[in-house]
Chain A
Amino acid sequence: MSNEVNAATVTAPLSTDAWYGHKGNLYALAIVGLVSLGSIWTLAQDMRWIYLLVYIWFGVGYGIFLQYGRFCMASAVRDLFAVGVPRMAVGMLIAVILFSLTAAVVKVLGVNTFHPNPMGWHIVIGAAIFGFGIVFTGGCASGSLYKTGEGNLGALLVVLSISFSQAIYVTLGGWLDKLVPASWTASAAAKGMPEELTVTEGWFDQFTAGYVWDLQGGQLAEQLGFEGLFSGAFVGNAFLGAILPSLLLMIYLYQSAYRKGYQRRYKIETPRFGDHLRGIWSMITASRNTAIAGLALGVLAGGHMWATGALREHYEIFNFGELLVDMGHTAGLSIQETVFDPGYWYITTQEAQWGAWLLDKSGVQVTDSIFFGLDNGIPNPLINAPGWMSIGIILGAAVIALSRREFKWKKPSFETAMFAIIGGALMGLGARIAMGCNIGAFFATVTNGDLSGWVFLAGMAAGGWLGVKAFNAWMEWRAGSDDLAI
């Protein structure tokens, strides 16, 4: 069967130059060299920085494969509704299947760092706002980071907008407090939080302490009562929680977005079972790079959990904050002496911390919130371990983009810049309401048997669908009149 329709691989111009004759390769090498030298220098100061370096290097790994597969989870949902193409949705599901398996291995090894999210309506609502935003920014939270690494300054604007908008939402009070239901305020007040947090002021504190904390969450293995460690991790969490839903979604995607075209293309009149299987395979391999990236990201994400979990065991800590205190860095920690330290792939919270750190430096009170004051702290970005993961994604993407000659400084047009700022602010709002983005609240969640991630996906899909409608309407309105009749 010929494969010419599927051939998504770009044919690069043949170059007769030696690899070092190409500037991009030299810049890429320089970035790798700087990160390596920086790592060695940091370790020479104190070996315990290895905990932070794990975040950086896994970030570099994520960046490399995100760029390699042009892996944007935002377009998984968006392309499906906008153009009916399942390429990225399939790539994402491959990554989910692989990550669920590696996460199960890590769980059996006893160092799984995952914490389930509370299940509630806030996930659907937040995810829908997030899904609406990503259509306009042209990238999800991690997508904006790797596109920044390609030299796309519009994507950098999205990252900045996500950072500052979240920091601002989390600390906003005043008239917004009037929108908070009295039951949340009462419930938050009853939690007996330290006074300096002022949990009954600020809508986000009351939302967190008065609503989210009262919700239940969990992993499928426990919910179904799988007692054994092995059966719980592999059958309960990985197979039933992630692999089976992913396979069903793939069949649905084939049926709704791919089958018709495939049968017309190969002139199949009466498809048999084998034809459908070949069709599904053709859909999975429609973009080789994306499929490979999905596999690699799934393995990396599990490896990241394992590395952080093993280091926590080694240093006998629960949170990076304890190591920071040991090393004498106490500024920016939360009142529990913790910092944000998920132990797995996460994007939005550390970006909120960057924004909050700058706000704090400019005199805005941010540490009286539960989000920063109690849970995550606002460490200096230089010692913010998950923050370095985000920077690692940018650097990793830059390395591979430079060596593939895809790096290009791109200034956004006025329209793109406005979309980046407004869309980024919507993504920030959605991520805070849903308690995570498409990585933290979906990818890392469904793969560990926490079904709230599928709820996030449903909400993000709904928001994405509305976003595509709105974006199309905008394009119609802005388009030149001859656009419609070429």
Chain B
Amino acid sequence: MGWFGRHKRRQPSALKRVDQTVTLADQSALRVQVCIDCLGAVCPRPQLLTLRAIDQMSEGEVLELLVDNPSSAEAIPAMGMALGMTHLATLKDAHGWRIYVRKGYPK
């Protein structure tokens, strides 16, 4: 393994703790605690990172996921029931999608 170890280059972390507020289409404000930047990544990376993030977040925290892979944008909201998260909104801009999910099922 030494050979691999020497050549190993760590990637910058895709998961970030943040504290930001986003304004949704209906003008309501949303506090975001965790952000994942998956721009340029294809399946299954965005799904796996979301799974990992949700595992480590506390109930009620909000995750912002940036993706430009259409099949991930379709898959994440449909993951809610299995992962125990609520899809709040998906915003589309020139770069791709911003998907907001909250850990936990809707009240």
Task: List residues of chain A with CB within 8 A of the CB of B42.
Answer: 138-139, 147, 152, 154-155, 416
Task: List residues of chain B with CB within 8 A of the CB of A155.
Answer: 42
Give the nearest-CB partner of B51 in chain A: A83
Task: List residues of chain A with CB within 8 A of the CB of B56.
Answer: 485-486
Does B32 make an interface contact (CB < 8 A)? no
The reply to whether A2 and B34 form a contact with Cβ atoms under 8 Å apart is: no
Digit string of B78-93 for contact with A (CB within 8 Å is 1, else 0)? 1111111011011111
The reply to whether A85 and B70 form a contact with Cβ atoms under 8 Å apart is: no
Other-chain contact of B106, A4, A150, A289, A413 (Cβ < 8 Å)? A4
The reply to whether B43 and A139 form a contact with Cβ atoms under 8 Å apart is: yes
The reply to whether B82 and A83 form a contact with Cβ atoms under 8 Å apart is: yes
Residues A480 and B47 in contact in the complex (CB < 8 Å), given A11-B91, A85-B79, A264-B84? no
Other-chain contact of A5, B52, B93, B106 (Cβ < 8 Å)? B106
Task: List residues of chain B with CB within 8 A of the CB of A11.
Answer: 25, 89-92
Kindly provide the distance from the CB of A127 to the nearest chain B CB, expressed in whole angstroms.
19
Does B73 make an interface contact (CB < 8 A)? yes
The reply to whether A289 and B47 form a contact with Cβ atoms under 8 Å apart is: no
Distance of A485 Cα from B15 Cα, bound (Å): 9
The reply to whether A70 and B79 form a contact with Cβ atoms under 8 Å apart is: no
The interface centre, meaning the residue of B8, B14, B78 with most chain A CB atoms within 10 A of its CB, is B78
Q: Which residues 472-486 of A have a CB within 8 angstroms of B? A: 472, 475, 477-486
The reply to whether A262 and B81 form a contact with Cβ atoms under 8 Å apart is: yes
Give the nearest-CB partner of B34 in chain A: A486
The reply to whether A289 and B13 form a contact with Cβ atoms under 8 Å apart is: no
Task: List residues of chain A with CB within 8 A of the CB of B10.
Answer: 478-481
Kindly provide the distance from the CB of A369 to the nearest chain B CB, expressed in whole angstroms.
33
Does B40 make an interface contact (CB < 8 A)? yes
Other-chain contact of B87, A7, A72, A85 (Cβ < 8 Å)? A7
The reply to whether B87 and A405 form a contact with Cβ atoms under 8 Å apart is: no
Digit string of A52-70 for contact with B (CB within 8 Å is 1, else 0)? 0000000000000001011
Task: List residues of chain B with CB within 8 A of the CB of A484.
Answer: 52
The reply to whether A7 and B79 form a contact with Cβ atoms under 8 Å apart is: no
Distance of A78 Cα from B18 Cα, bound (Å): 30
The reply to whether A287 and B44 form a contact with Cβ atoms under 8 Å apart is: no
Task: List residues of chain B with CB within 8 A of the CB of A138.
Answer: 42-44
Does A183 make an interface contact (CB < 8 A)? no
Residues A5 and B40 in contact in the complex (CB < 8 Å), given A70-B75, A408-B96, A480-B13? no
Does A249 make an interface contact (CB < 8 A)? no
The interface centre, meaning the residue of A150, A261, A282, A405 with most chain B CB atoms within 10 A of its CB, is A261
Does B12 make an interface contact (CB < 8 A)? yes
Distance of A154 Cα from B10 Cα, bound (Å): 22
The reply to whether B93 and A472 form a contact with Cβ atoms under 8 Å apart is: no
The reply to whether B75 and A84 form a contact with Cβ atoms under 8 Å apart is: no
Task: List residues of chain B with CB within 8 A of the CB of A189.
Answer: none
Distance of A261 Cα from B80 Cα, bound (Å): 9
Does A214 make an interface contact (CB < 8 A)? no
Give the nearest-CB partner of B42 in chain A: A138
Task: List residues of chain B with CB within 8 A of the CB of A283.
Answer: 81
The reply to whether B51 and A72 form a contact with Cβ atoms under 8 Å apart is: no
25 A–B pairs (Cβ distance < 8 Å), ordered by A: A4-B106, A5-B86, A5-B106, A11-B92, A70-B74, A82-B44, A83-B50, A83-B82, A86-B82, A135-B44, A138-B43, A138-B44, A152-B42, A258-B82, A261-B81, A264-B84, A265-B106, A287-B74, A287-B78, A405-B92, A478-B10, A479-B14, A482-B13, A483-B15, A486-B17
Given A13-B93, A86-B82, A282-B81, list of 6 further CB < 8 A pairs? A5-B86, A6-B78, A67-B70, A85-B78, A154-B42, A410-B40
- Interchain residue pairs A-B with the least CB separation, the first 9: A480-B13, A70-B71, A138-B42, A70-B74, A8-B77, A87-B78, A261-B81, A5-B80, A286-B78
